[in-house]
Chain A
Amino acid sequence: MRNVETILAQFKEIAANPRQAVADYRSETGKGAIGIMPIYAPEELVHATGYLPVGLWGGNQSINQARTYLPPFACSVMQQVMELECQGAFNDLAAVVFSVPCDTLKCMSQKWKGTSPVLVFTHPQNRGLESANRFLVEEYTRLQSRLEEITGVKISNAALENSIRVYNENRAALREFVRLAADYPQFVGAVSRHAVFKARQFMEKSRHTALVRELIGALTAQPLQPWSGKRVVVSGILLEPDGLLELFDELKLAIVDDDLAQESRQLRVDVQEGNEAPLYRLARVWQRMYGCSVATDTKKLRGKMLIEMAQKTGADAVIAAMMKFCDPEEWDYPIYFDELEKKGVRNLMIEVDQGATSFEQARTRLQSLAELL
């Protein structure tokens, strides 16, 4: 049996080399890759074509060419995506699947600078009406036929059901990993925890599940040890780059749960089993989604969710990882901030800039938090 460290090293290797992952996939299967833009997409449809769905969640480079097309106050993840587009980094993708739940994504979807076809679809704002489900089924049907055209693969119901099962299993395995990571912070630091999620974006999901299961096996073989540091829940779009995560490890802040769009929000809702058509069940996921800044929530339950997360995991604090210039997240923040304060849940906001190279501000904030806990 391989040990925890070796398995984590493999996750890190894959997470750091998406290009290699795509090349390996192509040479093994003869099929290419399809890009999936943040935040939510019915990836199962892409998986059912046999193409590799690849998450396009930015990078960590200096922004140059993107300045031509984006104002400086566009969120940092889209600045990164645009920079990569301009460099032609996505041009070997067979297509890019593009949801448009925020203004920045809407604009981005209309000025793609790469050469791959862009398949835009819309999530309905209204998440209460049955007609909204039917609308989304229509959107997914369109998306399906475009994918079929591009890949030359007819997506059968059986193939789609299989992909749904693969994704549900993957989400279940990752949820278990999240719980275990909280128990074994000595083994799974913030950088490693993130690598497990990041690698997910570049791996065929049944393979990812197998690797996560192997990691779970290796972790549970270890004795539990007391943790001398603090425990935190993080919330936001994403928590990168590694330099920022290293601060968590250095200051002994164990991430015991997350509400990150790039991480656990992707696991929050499974596709339900049932007799309805698979596309309908896929569409229903959007209405069952909760606690996310881009999924309209008239009841504003994110604060309550974060409080419960902190209570359940025994977290010492909630950290808002605020994506620089992300308006949906900024709008949510004052609401859940007030609720955390009222409940007496310690909390902190740090700013996330994917291209950051210095972390002094974040260090000061995180160190201050660690000192006062």
Chain B
Amino acid sequence: MYALGVDVGSASSKAVILDRNRKIVAAEVVQAGTGTTGPRRVMEQIFSKTGLHREDIVKLVATGYGRMRFEGADRQFSEISCHARGVHYLVPEARTILDIGGQDAKAIRLGNGGEVKQFFMNDKCAAGTGRFLEVMARVLETDLERMAALDTAADSPVSISSTCTVFAESEVISQLSHGASRENIIAGVHNSVAAKACGLVGRCGVEGTVVMTGGVAQNAGVVRAVSRELNREILVAPNPQTAGALGAALYAWDDARRERGDETG
């Protein structure tokens, strides 16, 4: 018996399959989110990778921004619950989660048993999220993968004061025209993302081990900036983009076991 979790985000789709022993069989990511072919493709990808079929899946749980539009799910859970479960599975000592995705950022505080104590999500705009980094990468003629490496070469990060993504973009352009180095601008951009995301963490209250998830957690520059901002060490969840899908799969696994009784336990 297998359980599947799918996380349909705004910019990417993720899927995770668990086996009867609650072990991860596969975790896949497609960089296209809700309303695109992404959700379908991530399912095809995970099935072809594992050789499994939809019939092998006892329960399927959907989460993420596009969870209500994903067809074929047995249940939907919110991203908050799923991230909390996924992270607790991967890093049981985690007490604070900072998830930065394509269009949203969230801070979650966990209790000792991994239960959600409090959470905050960004509102009003996409500042401080993956979209912000994408826009900046374009102006700086680089890509998300290279930004972390360039960040390490910064000697005097510039300060980006605009909160608005569009204004921040013009600010970056003017920094470039004033001769600031790309490295220093990139470090400034990372600091700016970190400052906004840490505002959420501040609202939520930082406790214990802090774990980052979401696509942006793959950018070591942002992780370093968050660590400086919070003044503590940050753990990056293994395969951070799929933490939400993993949580969804864990919920699916519970449902499957409930349905099948001990047979699957």
Residues of A within 8 A of B (CB): 324, 341, 347, 349, 351, 360-361, 363-365, 367-368, 371-372
Contacts and interface: CB of A to CB of B under 8 A. Distances in A.
Complex A-B, nearest 8 residue pairs according to Cβ-Cβ distance, in ascending order: A368-B80, A368-B78, A367-B78, A372-B116, A351-B123, A371-B81, A364-B78, A368-B81
Contacts of A349: 120
Contact of B79 (A351, A364, A372): A364
B119 A368 contact: yes
Contacts of B80: 364-365, 368, 371-372
Contacts of B119: 365, 368
A75 to B, nearest CB: 12
Nearest to B76: A367
Contacts of A341: 118, 205
29 contacts: A324-B124, A341-B118, A341-B205, A347-B118, A349-B120, A351-B124, A360-B65, A361-B104, A361-B123, A363-B68, A364-B79, A364-B80, A365-B78, A365-B119, A365-B121, A367-B76, A367-B77, A367-B78, A368-B78, A368-B79, A368-B80, A368-B81, A371-B77, A371-B78, A371-B81, A372-B80, A372-B81, A372-B115, A372-B116
A336 to B, nearest CB: 13
Contacts of A371: 77-78, 80-81
Nearest to B115: A372
A72 to B, nearest CB: 10
A363 B118 CA distance: 16
A368 B116 contact: yes
Nearest to A338: B205
Contacts of A368: 78-81, 116, 119
A97 to B, nearest CB: 32
B95 to A, nearest CB: 15
A29 B207 CA distance: 64
A236 to B, nearest CB: 14
Contacts of B118: 341, 347
- Which of the listed residues A324, A347, A351, A371 has the most CB atoms from chain B within 10 Å of its own CB? A371
A341 B111 CA distance: 13
A324 B80 CA distance: 22
A43 B80 CA distance: 44
